[in-house]
């Protein structure tokens, strides 16, 4: 069998094993290669630990305090294996590859690259991509001697002397401040995806329903299909029984969260639900009100001496009469349907008019009215569109190699050019490229800490 035939068979086998979200093959013209995401198997109850340094000042001097934060997770971001198959692979040459990861340092990634090279040397003449992927998935933690808790570095640095590090080893996050949030956000997204793809039996209609069409009550974890709960919530709201939106399980008193109710009922019913809920709270608890922000809705204790209250959760200062930003002694004249009118009046007004509106309604309220109408302007200013599908993408961490979550295309955040699926980092390693050596351009990198040097060798 020729090298070309073996390459075709190997890629065909990989596509039958991995779906398109995990394996992306190079397009015609880019040669034979691709991009493979490898998800290492985590032990149960896996912990990640981060040490955060804080400086506190007193009257005499400044004291550095180290605070440890531990989080139990179920998923870690995958390793990214980009490969290109030479024409004489597998008879003579190994695949060209790069190995990237957020939560492994370059020393560890270098060790993995050498292990992949050694695997090829032991099996020269045979295809090795599946062997590589299987090793990274099943044996990575044992090979690198990683166990729970996984202690993240206090700083992430770029060593002055990197000659001992493999250029194929790429760390995709440049700052410790970005690493822990990135891991926790990925774990959250994957848990939601796992729930959406799982099958549950609704205890109301006894049908097997996919999780994407179910809701789980936050207080108890009981799961029901969205159709049953949507009908149940609608009947209760129409009957003005907003306290009846609780888990149907016998003797269970968990209440549905307003955000869950909003997803399952019509906008008209949800508006009625909000009004009834607020009124019920005020009728039964005269000294308590809910924070007006829909995403918060935390109970707030009323100040009996004034109409001002401060939400203890989101720190929103609001008027207890009109539920908008606190406006002092000014009368409550602004209603929900007046936000658009206020925005237009403020934009068209002269300096004196604007000062009058700010005094009347408060700067925070005017700011809110302006921000609600500037969503598109915000997108244009703080995000970019994927060059393949046009989806808006905001970059919050990591390097300038971007991956669209919608169409899986790779592109450069700097020049917005398409990147090769088989080797996206070639764009930053080729001298004639407009973005040569700019993989981390514009990314804040923490200062080098001599105490942590050995960890990153």
Catalytically active residues, by annotation: 399
Distance between terminal CA atoms of the chain? 43
Tokens of 14: 């990989």
Q: For residue 436, how many C-alpha atoms fall within 13 Å in the half-sphere facing its CB?
A: 5
- Residue 237, exposed/middle/buried by CB under 10 A (0-12, 13-18, 19+)? buried
| Beta carbons within 10 angstroms of residue 70's beta carbon | 11
Q: Strands 79-84, 299-301: parallel, antiparallel or unpaired by DSSP? A: unpaired
d(CA 182, CA 179): 5
d(CA 14, CA 382): 38
- Please list, in sequence order, all residues whose beta carbon lies within 8 angstroms of the beta carbon of residue 116, skipping any fewer than 6 positions away: 97, 99, 128, 132, 135
- Give me the helices (H) in 139-175, please: 140-143
d(CA 274, CA 284): 16
Neighbour-count burial for 127-140, b at 16+ CB within 10 Å, e otherwise: bbbeebbebbeeeb
Q: Report the interhelical angle of 106-122 vs 129-138 (nearest 10°).
A: 140
User: Which segments of 302-438 are extended strands (E)?
Assistant: 308-310, 317-319, 384-385, 392-393, 401-403, 410-412
């Amino acid at each position: 069998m020729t090298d070309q035939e073996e390459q075709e068979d190997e890629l065909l086998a990989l596509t039958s094993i991995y779906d398109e979200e995990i394996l992306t093959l190079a397009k015609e013209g880019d040669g034979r290669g691709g991009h493979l995401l490898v998800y290492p198997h985590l032990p149960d109850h896996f912990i990640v630990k981060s040490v955060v340094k804080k400086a506190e000042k007193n009257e005499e001097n400044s004291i550095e305090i180290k605070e440890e934060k531990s989080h139990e997770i179920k998923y870690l971001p995958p390793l990214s294996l980009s490969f290109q198959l030479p024409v004489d692979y597998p008879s003579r040459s190994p695949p060209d590859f790069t190995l990237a990861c957020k939560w492994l340092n370059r020393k560890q990634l270098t060790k993995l690259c050498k292990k992949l090279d050694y695997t090829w040397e032991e099996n020269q003449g045979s295809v090795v991509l599946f062997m590589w992927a299987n090793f990274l998935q099943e044996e990575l933690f044992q090979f690198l001697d990683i166990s729970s808790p996984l202690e993240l570095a206090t700083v992430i640095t770029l060593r002055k002397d990197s000659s001992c590090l493999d250029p194929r080893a790429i760390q995709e996050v440049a700052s410790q401040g970005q690493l822990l949030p990135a891991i926790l956000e990925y774990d959250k997204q994957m848990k939601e995806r796992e729930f959406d793809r799982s099958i549950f039996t609704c205890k109301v209609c006894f049908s097997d329903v996919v999780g994407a069409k179910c809701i789980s009550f936050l207080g108890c974890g009981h799961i029901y299909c969205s159709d049953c709960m949507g009908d149940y919530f609608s009947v209760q709201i129409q009957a003005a029984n907003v306290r009846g939106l609780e888990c149907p399980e016998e003797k269970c008193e968990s209440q549905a969260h307003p955000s869950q109710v909003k997803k399952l009922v019509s906008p008209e019913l949800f508006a009625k639900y909000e009004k009834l809920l607020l009124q019920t709270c005020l009728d039964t608890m005269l000294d308590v009100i809910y924070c007006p922000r829909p995403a918060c809705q935390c109970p707030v204790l009323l100040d009996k001496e004034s109409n001002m209250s401060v939400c203890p959760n989101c720190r929103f200062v609001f008027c207890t009469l009109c539920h908008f930003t606190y406006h002092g002694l000014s009368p409550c004249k602004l209603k929900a349907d007046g936000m658009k009118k206020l925005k237009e009046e403020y934009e068209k007004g002269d300096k004196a008019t604007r000062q009058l509106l700010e005094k009347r309604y408060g700067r925070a309220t005017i700011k809110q009215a302006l921000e609600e109408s500037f969503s598109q302007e915000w997108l244009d200013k703080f995000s970019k569109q994927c060059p393949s599908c046009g989806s808006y993408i905001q970059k919050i961490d990591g390097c300038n190699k971007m991956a669209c979550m919608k169409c899986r295309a790779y592109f450069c955040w700097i020049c917005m050019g398409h990147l090769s699926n088989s080797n996206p980092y070639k764009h930053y390693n080729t001298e004639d490229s407009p973005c040569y050596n700019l993989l981390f351009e514009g990314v804040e990198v923490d200062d080098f800490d001599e105490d942590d040097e050995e960890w990153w060798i």
